[in-house]
Structure 1
Amino acid sequence: MSTPTTTTAAPDVARSGVRRRPSPTAVAPWILVTPFLLLFLFTFVLPILMALGQSFTLVEREGLFGEEGVTSTFAWFENYRLALADGQFIASIGRMLLFGVVQVPIMITLATVLALLLESASARWPGFFRAAYFMPYGVPGVLATILWSFLYVPGLSPIVDTAHAWFGLEIDFLGAGTVLWSIANIVTWTYTGYNMLIIIAQLKAIPPELYEAARVDGAGPARLAFSIQLPLIRPALVLTTVFSIIGTLQLFAEPQLLAQVAPAIDSQYTPNLSAYTTAFAYNDYTVAAAQAVLIALVAFVLSFAFLRLTNRTSR
């Protein structure tokens, strides 16, 4: 009796010896995105890492201008201690927190109201008014500040001169107690239209069937706004608020230019202006780097806290 023999299949030499090449469809996206990744790396990630590294570095210069040598050592948190010991820098952060608490809600409310009005069924020439409200955002911040300064400076401002001549009122837009809100007025004028367009884009994504069903149930414009539009544009409101919180701590051009006509604005009026002064007026780049990291940290904490709060309230 013969025993059955079993045969084993030979390995596929061609399949095991040749490495498969990636398909063009898998490689093409990486080729297309590589320029952006490189630009993002060298213009965003790398500067952040360099600033973070400098914030932990202590630079010692020998000689008046460092001509006898420059040595760098690891400073641990010494630069952060010096930054936090600067009372003017801490005051500038507190000033911007007050600025944001007042200015951001006003701006977001105005942007929301304008968006709802322009997207209402009774709105006339909505395209024209959208462009008109958005136009201030197209004006550079430097020019916007110069334009508004003509309305703030006594002797040039028709508002100040008219109030004094006709009503006997002394209006000082650039005083110590008012200049912060004069800056807030410029920022609100500039960015309300920008935030309005973001909200309008969210409004246009609402299905028309929801409006039709609500009108069948007898809902008026106010009921549509509060029951359908405002709840559904919540992501846009959160996004614009977070952007505004971050932008509040980044104020720089407006106070720097108004400082030429407003003695109440010093060289450390805002956090960014304080870091700029520390770096380029005092040549203390490591402490300025620590200040920049602290500004970014405060912006992150405020944005994160706001997102957590909105997520909790939505539940």
Structure 2
Amino acid sequence: MTVAPTPVARTGQRPTAADSSSPARPRTMRRAQNRAPWILLAPFLLLFVLTFLLPILVAIGQSFTAIDREGLFGEEGVTSRFAGFDNYALALANDGFVASIGRMLLFGIVQVPVMIVLCTVLALLLESASAKWPQFFRAAYFMPYGVPGVIATILWSFLYVPGLSPFIDVAGALGIRLDFLGPDTVLWSIANIVTWTYTGYNMLIVVAQLKSIPREVYEAARVDGANAWRLAWTVQLPLIRPALVLTTVFSIIGTLQLFVEPQLLQNVAPAIDSEYTPNLSAYTNAFAFNDYGVASAQAVLIALAAFVLSYVFLALSNRKAKR
């Protein structure tokens, strides 16, 4: 019985292109592979267009449109026409809307730095080597963010209203008069709610950045004799700068979008009118006066203000980083 010899590869000879390359894939398979990512992304892209891009485009288009109603309630006909920049002129001529933007700028100048400093200090304390039960306190500080804004505002309103607030009762017994809902204090009462709600959320962003710092950096700093304070000031703070910039930008945008807290506190705070914040002013024009053109113009102006403020902050931050 003879056995056929097994072919042995010849040494010293390079494999040809036909031997080394895989068989050419059919063109239809390549097309299917090219389409696969788009098919997987299609649900997200569809929702993104319908819930984000389309409302923005509709708002921009509506901001250049005016509606004329014939009759007392438009019963004789409703027509729309191109209004140019008339709606923007009306929005900027509204003293209440302009005052609300200034009010939110003051709010942001005070509240945003306080919240960023507070969340940074909490993150540094929780990530220090001597911190006890860091996971428990991390969850406790984050818990207020899980409370819906409506519920949080209602809970805090009980602590602001005279006759219901234990703080006001205790202060009154000591001869101190507290008015959390007065014209000069209600803005900072809202700032307290916002700070209580979002400090824990921003703290987790900073904590995530702290955890990404390599251990070798800490070990090198300790070898150089750095104590806990020196370590936080010269090592941790510079390395968590991207997280601080991100949380500050989010806070700037959120400041101009403030809506839920003042709308709910309207019921117990006479100092809060229908145009106390820019978003509240746009909401009032749209759903109380049915002036959707002016409301859309106000929404576009709010978005532009948020973009400009965020861009200026990022430009200043990048300039400092380069120095």
TM-score (norm 2): 0.90
Q: Are 2:105 and 1:97 equivalent residues in the alignment?
A: yes
Q: Are 2:88 and 1:80 equivalent residues in the alignment?
A: yes
Which residue of 2 is the match for residue 309 of structure 1? 316
Which residue of 2 is the match for residue 142 of structure 1? 150
> For 1:128, which of 129, 136, 149 is the aligned residue?
136
- Deviation (angstroms), 1:19: 6.5
Q: Does the residue aligned with 1:64 lie in a helix, a strand or coil?
A: coil
Counterpart-to-counterpart distance in 2, 1:23 and 1:55: 43
- Cα gap change, 1:197/1:19 in structure 2, threshold over 3 Å: closer, same or farther? closer
How many residue pairs were aligned? 297
Counterpart-to-counterpart distance in 2, 1:267 and 1:23: 56
Which residue of 1 is the match for residue 15 of structure 2? none
- Deviation (angstroms), 1:64: 2.0
Deviating runs (4+, > 4 A) in structure 1?
18-21
* Within-5 A mapping of 1:149-298: 149-165=157-173, 167-298=174-305
- Deviation (angstroms), 1:25: 3.1
Q: Structure 2: 5+ residue runs without aligned partners?
A: 1-25
Which residue of 2 is the match for residue 49 of structure 1? 57
Counterpart-to-counterpart distance in 2, 1:84 and 1:45: 25
Identity level (%): 76
Residue 77 of structure 1 aligns with an amino acid whose one-letter code is: F
Which residue of 2 is the match for residue 111 of structure 1? 119
Which residue of 2 is the match for residue 4 of structure 1? none
Q: Structure 1: 5+ residue runs without aligned partners?
A: 1-17
- Deviation (angstroms), 1:69: 1.6
- Deviation (angstroms), 1:22: 3.1
Counterpart-to-counterpart distance in 2, 1:259 and 1:23: 58
C-alpha deviations, 1:69-97, integer Å up to 9, x for none? Answer: 22111111000000000000000000000
C-alpha deviations, 1:238-296, integer Å up to 9, x for none? Answer: 00000000000111110011111111000110000000001111110100000000000
Which residue of 1 is the match for residue 20 of structure 2? none
CA RMSD in angstroms, aligned pairs only: 1.1
Q: Does the residue aligned with 1:22 lie in a helix, a strand or coil?
A: helix
Counterpart-to-counterpart distance in 2, 1:222 and 1:197: 21
TM-score (norm 1): 0.93
- Deviation (angstroms), 1:308: 0.3
